[in-house]
Amino acid sequence: MEKKEPKVVVNHLTKKFGDLLVLDDLNFEVQEGEFLCIVGPTGCGKTTFLNSLTRLYEPTAGEILVNGIPVDPKKQDISYIFQEYSSFPWLTVEQNVRFGLEIKRVPKEEADASVEEMLDIVGLTKFRSYYPSQLSISMLQRVAIARAFATKPELLLMDEPYGQLDIDLRFKLEDELLKLWKKTGTTVLFITHNIEEAVYLSQNIMVLTNKPTSVKTVLHNPLPLPRDVMSQEFVDLRNQVTDLIKWW
Amino acid sequence: MKKKQGARMDKYLLVSVLSVCVGIFVWWLVTDGLGLFRSNVLPSPVKVCQTFLKKWVEARPDGATLLQHLMASLKVALGGYLIGALVGIPLGIFMAWNDKVDMLVRPVFDLVRTIPGVAWTSVMVTLVGIGYMSKALVIFISAMVAMVINSYSGIKQTKTVHLWVGQTFGASNWDLLTRVAIPSALPMIFTGLDVALGSAWTTLVAAELLASTRGLGFMIQQARGIFRLDIVIVGMVVIAITGAILSSIIRKIGDRVVKGGRLR
C-alpha cells in the first residue's frame, strides 16, 4: 500500500523571543485524520508551539507544511480553540458559530446547514439567540467548539480547552469531542497538561521537554475507544507518560 | 428576575425624585420661607418658575425668547458635536489600528487635547468672527477630543484572543477591524459619545458667554449684567434639563446598538 502524504510536516521549527529560546528545532509529522495529544511540563512553551503552528507568532526558523505547502490560515481551513474564553460577547450563540463561515465567505445555504448541525451536536439549539454573558462556562466552551467545527476544518488545534472545567463537565465535553472527531475525520492537535485527558483522547501522544522545548518522544496509544480510565492498560500508559514528563 | 429589576428601578426613581424635591424645598425655605436671602441676591423657586414661564413669550431684556435662545444653542452644540463625532470616531479608530497613523497624528493630538475648549474661543473669533462658525468650531474641538480618546482606547482594549480567532479563520485586516475590533470597541465609543456631549454642552455655554448675540449662555451673561438672577437660574435649569435629555437619547441609542449587555 502506498504511504499516505502526512497532513502536517514540521521541519526544524525554532522560536526565539529576543534571546530566549523557547522552541528548539522541532521535527515531526502528523497523519491525516490523526488525533495527537501534546503534553509537557508546565511552562514548557506549549502555547507558543501552537501559536507558531498557526503563524500567530512568526517562527524564527524552520518550516511548517500543511498538505505540502507552507501553513497560511488564509489558504487552509484551520480552526483554533483557545484556552481563554473566546466567544465574541457582542454576538449571539448562533452568530458566534457562524463567524468563521462568514469570514470564509461560505454560501448562505451551506452556512445555515452547518450552523444548525453544530448547534444541534453541542446541544445549544435552544440557546441560539442568547448572548455569551447569559451562558455558563461550559456552554461558552461549547460555543467555541461549535464555531471551530462549523467551518469543517482540515486541521483543528486545541489549547487546553477544558483546563478550567469541572471534572464531570470535562468528561462530557471530551466524549463530545471524540464524537465530532470521528464524524468529521478532521486532524486534531490537542494540547493539555492533564495526562489522563491525553491518554483518554489520543491516538498518539507527543511528549515535549522542558524549555527550550523539543520533542522528547511520540508514543502510540493502542487502547480501543471508548476507554476505561480505571483499566490496568489505561493506568499503565498514564504512568508511562507521567514518567516521561518528570524532570526532577 | 425582570420584575425584581423593575422594582429596584422604581425605588431608584423614587429616591432621585425625592432628593430633587428636598433640594427645591431647602431652596424655598432659605428664600421665601425664612427670608434669609433677599430676592435680588437669591430669587426663590416661585420667582424662577414665573420667570421661566414668562420668558417663553417675552424677548425682554436680552432680545430673544427662551425658545429662540435654546434653539440657537442647540444648533451650535449639535452642529459642532456631530462633526466632532464624524471626525473623532474614525480618527480614534484608525490611530489605534494603524501605527503609522498613530505616529503621525499622536503628537499633535496630545498637544491639542490638554487645551480647554474655551481657550480656543478667542482664536476662532479672530479667524471667523463672532457667529455660528466660531462657536461650532470650538465645540467641534472639545467634542472631538473626547471621541478620539474613547474610540482609541476602545480599539486598543480589543482582546488578543478575539483577534486570534479571526486570524486563524484567515480574516483579512479589514475583516478584523470591522468584525472584531470595532464591535468590541462599541461600548467605549458610546461612552465617548456621552462624554463628548457633556463637554460640547459645557463648552457651548462658556463660548456663548464670550462671543455671542443669542443663546442660553448669552442670555445668562446679559441677565447677570443687570442683576436679573432669576433669568440666570432659568438659563442654568434649561441647560441642565436639555443636557440630561440629550444624554439619555445617546444612551437609548447605545442600548439599541451595543449588543450582548455590555453597556454599563
pLDDT at B167 over 80: yes
Judge if B20 and B150 occupy the same domain: no
More confident residue, B205 or A186: A186
Cβ pair B183:A99 closer than 8 A: no
**Contact status of A88 with chain B (Cβ, < 8 Å):** yes
Residue A198 placed within a domain: no
CB nearest B169 (choices: A91, A104, A157): A104
Q: Which domain holds residue B5?
A: 1-37
**pLDDT digit string, tens, across residues A137-168:** 888 888 998 999 899 898 999 998 888 777 88
Q: Does A189 touch chain B (CB under 8 A)?
A: no
Q: Tell me, yes or no, whether B33 lies in a domain.
A: yes
Question: Is residue A1 scored above 60 in pLDDT?
Answer: no
A248 pLDDT more than 60: no
Which residues on A lie below 8 Å from B258 (Cβ)? Answer: 90
Q: Do B165 and A80 touch (CB under 8 A)?
A: yes
CB pair distance less than 8 Å for B171 and A103: yes
Average pLDDT over chain B reads 88
Which residue, among A77, A79, A90, would best test binding to B if mutated, counting the most B CBs under 10 Å from its CB? A90
Residue A127: inside a domain = yes
| Residue A22 · residue A213 · CB < 8 Å | yes
Partner-chain residue, chosen from A76, A133, A151, that has the shortest CB–CB distance to B261: A133
Partner B contacted by A89 (CB < 8 A): yes
Helices (runs of H) and strands (runs of E) counted in chain A: 7, 10
Task: Say whether residue A131 is in contact with chain B using an 8 A CB cutoff.
Answer: yes
| Distance between CA atoms of residues B172 and A227, nearest Å | 42
Average confidence (pLDDT) over A98-122: 92
Cα three-residue angle A189-A244-A196, rounded to 5 degrees: 55
Q: Is B166 on the interface with A (CB under 8 A)?
A: yes
The grid coordinates listed for B170 are 484567515
Q: What is the dihedral of CA B72, B76, B77, B79, to 10 degrees?
A: 130
In chain B, % of residues over pLDDT 90: 46
Question: What phi-psi label fits residue A62: left (phi over 0), alpha (psi between -120 and 50 degrees) or beta?
Answer: left
Asked whether A142 and A173 are in contact (CB, 8 A), the reply is: yes
How far apart are alpha carbons B153 and B238 in whole angstroms? 33
Question: How many Å apart are CA B143 and CA B141, to the nearest integer?
Answer: 6
Q: Which of B175, B183, B260 sits opposite A103 (nearest CB)?
A: B175
Number of domains observed in the structure of chain A: 1
User: What is the reported pLDDT for B31?
Assistant: 87
B263 touches chain A (CB under 8 A): no
Return the half-sphere exposure (C-beta side, CA atoms, 13 A cut-off) of residue A205: 26
**Dist. CA B243–CA B138, nearest whole Å:** 18
Helices B66-97 and B99-113: crossing angle in degrees, nearest 10, is: 140
| Inside any domain, residue A235 | no
pLDDT at B135: 87
Q: Which three cell numbers stand for residue B81?
A: 458635536
Neighbours of A115 (CB within 10 A): 23
* Placement of cell 465574541 in the chain: A88
| B54 shares its domain with B181 | yes
Residues B20 and B47 in one domain: no
CB contact under 8 A, B168 and A79: yes
Residue B20 sits in the same domain as residue B131: no
Residue B5 has a pLDDT of: 64
DSSP state of A220: E
pLDDT value of residue A247 = 62
- Mean of per-residue pLDDT scores for chain A: 87
Report d(CA B213, CA B222) in Å as an integer.
10
Does A74 contact B at CB distance below 8 Å?
yes
Would residue A74 count as lying in a domain?
no
In a domain? residue A118: yes
A63 beta partners: A11
| A136: in domain | yes
| Residue B264, pLDDT score | 55
Q: Is A58 exposed, middle or buried (0-12, 13-18, 19+ CB in 10 A)?
A: exposed
In a domain, residue B79? The reply is yes
Q: Are A188 and A156 in contact (CB under 8 A)?
A: yes
pLDDT in tens, B66-103: 999 999 999 999 999 999 999 999 999 999 999 999 99
Nearest CA-CA distance, residue A90 and chain B, Å: 5
**Cβ neighbourhood burial of B167 (10 Å; 0-12, 13-18, 19+):** buried
Tell me which amino acid residue A141 is.
Q
3 state SS for chain B: CHHHHHHHHHHHHHHHHHHHHHHHHHHHHHHHHCCCCCCCCCCCHHHHHHHHHHHCCCCCCCCCCHHHHHHHHHHHHHHHHHHHHHHHHHHHHHHHHCHHHHHHHHHHHHHHHCCCHHHHHHHHHHHHCCCHHHHHHHHHHHHHHHHHHHHHHHHHCCCHHHHHHHHHCCCCHHHHHHHHHHHHHHHHHHHHHHHHHHHHHHHHHHHHHHCCCCCHHHHHHHHHHCCCHHHHHHHHHHHHHHHHHHHHHHHHHHHHHCCCCCCC
User: What is residue B1's predicted lDDT score, i.e. its pLDDT?
Assistant: 45
| Position B210 pLDDT exceeds 90 | no
Measured in degrees and rounded to the nearest 5, phi and psi for residue A3 equal -75, 130
Residue A8 has pLDDT above 50, yes or no: yes
Name, in order, each residue with C-beta under 8 angstroms of B151's C-beta and a sequence gap of 6 or more: B88, B89, B91, B92, B93, B96, B185, B188, B189, B192
Do B11 and B61 share a domain, yes or no? no
Mean pLDDT for B39-55 is: 88
**Rounded to the nearest 5 degrees, what angle is found at the Cα of B259, between the Cα atoms of B256 and B264?**
85
Closest CA to A131 of A101, A97, A90: A90
Asked if the bond preceding B61 is cis, omega within 30° of 0, the reply is yes
CATH of the domain at B213: 1.10.3720.10
Is residue B2 over pLDDT 60?
A: no
Which residue of B167, B169, B186 is in closest CB contact with A151? B169
Task: Please report the pLDDT score of residue B6 as a whole number.
Answer: 67
B215 with B148, same domain: the answer is yes
Q: How confident is the model at residue B3 (pLDDT cuts 50, 70, 90)?
A: low
Q: What is the DSSP letter of A213?
A: B
- Residue A96 near residue A143, CB atoms below 8 Å: yes
- The answer to whether residue A3 is domain-embedded is no
Residue B264 belongs to a domain: no
Provide the domain limits for residue A105: 85-151
Residues B238 and B159 in one domain: yes
**Is B262 a member of any domain?**
no
Q: Is residue A209 part of a domain?
A: no
Q: Is the pLDDT reported for residue A4 higher than 80?
A: no
Total count of domains within chain B: 2
| Averaged pLDDT for residues A30-44 | 86
Give residue B122's pLDDT.
83
Using CA atoms, how far apart are residues A199 and A242, in angstroms rounded to an integer?
11
Round to whole Å and give the CA distance between B122 and B132.
Answer: 14
Q: Residue A85: pLDDT band by 50, 70, 90 thresholds?
A: confident
A196-209 pLDDT tens trace: 898 999 999 998 88
Shortest Cα distance from B175 to chain A (angstroms)? 7
User: How far is the first Cα of chain A from the last one, in angstroms, to the nearest whole number?
Assistant: 44
Q: Does A105 touch chain B (CB under 8 A)?
A: no
Same domain? For B189 and B147 the reply is: yes
B contacts of A80 (beta carbons < 8 Å) = 164-165, 168
Does B224 lie in the same domain as B206?
Answer: yes
Give the number of other Cβ atoms within 10 Å of residue A135's Cβ. 18
Asked if the Cβ–Cβ distance from B170 to A56 is below 8 Å, we say no
Kindly state whether residues B52 and B27 are assigned to the same domain. Answer: no
A75 touches chain B (CB under 8 A): yes
Distance in angstroms (rounded) separating the CA atoms of residues A153 and A103? 13
Residues B195 and B176 in one domain: yes
Judge if B45 and B79 occupy the same domain. Answer: yes
State yes or no: pLDDT of A2 exceeds 70: no
Question: What's the pLDDT score for residue B58?
Answer: 86
**Distance from C-alpha of A153 to C-alpha of A186, rounded to nearest angstrom:** 7
According to the model, what pLDDT value does residue B90 have? 95
What DSSP state is assigned to residue A123?
Answer: T
